[in-house]
C-alpha cells in the first residue's frame, strides 16, 4: 500500500519562480525515505505540502495532487490523523513537565478513555525503548531524548506516517544514535518515516533517497550524494 503519493506537484509563491515543479514521488507503507537538498532548495515547502500545513494559506498556489493512504488530500483537515511532523527544536513542541502527561495530552483532547490512554502510553514507550523516561521532566532530558518524546506523543495518536524535519540537527552523536534506533523500531512496526535533511550522513537508514534541486525531485543513488 502506498503511504504517500505525489503526482505532478508544483508550488510557487504568488508570481515568483516555482519552488517545486512537477514533483512525483511514491512512498510505500513501512518505508524510510530521505529527502535532501541545499538550503532554499524547497525541502521545507515540500514538507509543508506533505503534512497539509500550507493548504489553508496557499491552496491556490498548489498544483498537482497529494494522496495519503491512497486518499486524495484536498484540504488541510484531510491530513489530520494521517501525518505527524517532528521539527528541529523539540522544546517548541513539548508542553508538559512530565513525559507521561506529554504523551497523554493529545489523547485527552480526543476524549480517549483513561484505560486506553494508559495502554497506548505503555505500548509506545516500549516501542521506542524509552520506558525509563516515563516519569522524567522533559526539560531535564538530552536533545535526542526530547525528540523521542515528541515522536512518542505523535505515535500515541495512532499516526502511521512520521515526517522528521532535520530532527538530528541539534543533537549530539549519542542523540543521533537514539533517534536512528527509534526509526528502526518504527519501521519494524510498519510506520512510514520521511526524513528531511541537509546532511546526507543522517540518511544511512533510508530505503531510498530523493534530492531536491532547481525545483525538481529526483531519486538518487547513495554514492551520488557526496
Local confidence band at 130 (pLDDT 50, 70, 90 cut-offs): very high
pTM summary value: 0.92
19-34 average pLDDT score = 96
pLDDT at 223: 66
φ/ψ bin of 13: left (φ > 0), alpha (ψ from -120 to 50), beta (otherwise): beta
pLDDT at 133: 97
pLDDT at 78: 86
Nearest-5° angle of CA 53, CA 68, CA 76?
Answer: 25
Local confidence band at 99 (pLDDT 50, 70, 90 cut-offs): very high
pLDDT at 226 over 60: no
pLDDT at 64: 96
Nearest-5° angle of CA 91, CA 94, CA 98?
Answer: 120
Local confidence band at 224 (pLDDT 50, 70, 90 cut-offs): low
What is the C-alpha to C-alpha distance for residues 47 and 23, in angstroms, rounded to an integer? 13
pLDDT at 39: 87
132-147 average pLDDT score = 95
Helical H segments across the chain, by residue range: 43-50, 55-58, 99-109, 114-127, 143-155, 173-188
pLDDT, tens only, 39-93? 889 999 999 999 999 998 898 999 999 999 999 998 888 898 899 999 989 999 9
- Going from the C-alpha of 136 to that of each of 62, 119, 170, the distances in angstroms are 43, 19, 21
Which domains does the chain carry?
32-51+82-224 (3.40.50.300)
Based on its alpha-carbon atoms, the radius of gyration of the chain, rounded to whole angstroms, reads 17
pLDDT, tens only, 164-181? 999 988 889 999 999 999
**CB contact at 8 A, 135 and 99:** yes
- Average pLDDT taken over every residue of the chain: 92
Active site residue 166: yes
From the list 31, 166, 181, 197, the catalytic residue is 166
pLDDT, tens only, 172-209? 999 999 999 999 999 999 999 999 998 888 899 999 99
Amino acid at each position: 500500500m502506498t503511504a504517500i503519493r505525489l503526482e505532478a506537484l508544483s508550488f510557487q509563491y504568488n508570481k515568483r519562480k516555482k519552488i517545486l515543479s512537477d514533483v512525483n514521488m511514491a512512498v510505500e507503507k513501512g518505508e524510510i525515505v530521505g529527502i535532501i537538498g541545499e538550503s532554499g532548495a524547497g525541502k521545507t515547502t515540500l514538507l509543508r505540502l506533505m503534512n497539509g500545513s500550507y493548504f489553508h494559506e496557499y491552496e491556490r498556489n498548489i498544483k498537482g495532487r497529494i494522496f495519503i493512504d491512497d486518499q486524495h488530500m484536498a484540504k488541510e483537515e484531510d491530513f489530520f490523523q494521517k501525518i505527524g511532523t517532528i521539527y528541529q527544536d523539540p522544546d517548541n513542541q513539548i508542553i508538559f513537565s512530565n513525559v507521561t502527561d506529554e504523551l497523554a495530552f493529545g489523547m485527552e483532547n480526543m476524549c480517549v478513555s483513561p484505560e486506553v490512554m494508559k495502554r497506548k502510553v505503555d505500548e509506545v514507550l516500549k516501542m521506542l525503548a524509552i520506558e525509563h523516561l516515563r516519569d522524567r521532566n522533559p526539560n531535564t532530558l538530552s536533545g535526542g531524548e526530547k525528540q523521542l518524546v515528541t515522536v512518542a506523543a505523535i505515535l500515541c495518536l495512532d499516526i502511521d506516517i512520521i515526517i522528521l524535519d532535520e530532527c538530528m540537527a541539534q543533537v549530539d552523536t549519542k542523540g543521533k544514535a537514539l533517534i536512528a534506533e527509534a526509526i528502526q523500531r518504527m519501521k519494524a512496526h510498519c510506520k512510514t518515516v520521511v526524513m528531511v535533511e541537509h546532511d546526507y550522513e543522517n540518511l544511512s537508514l533510508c530505503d531510498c533517497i530523493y534530492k531536491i534541486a532547481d525545483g525538481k525531485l529526483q531519486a538518487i543513488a547513495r554514492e551520488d550524494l557526496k
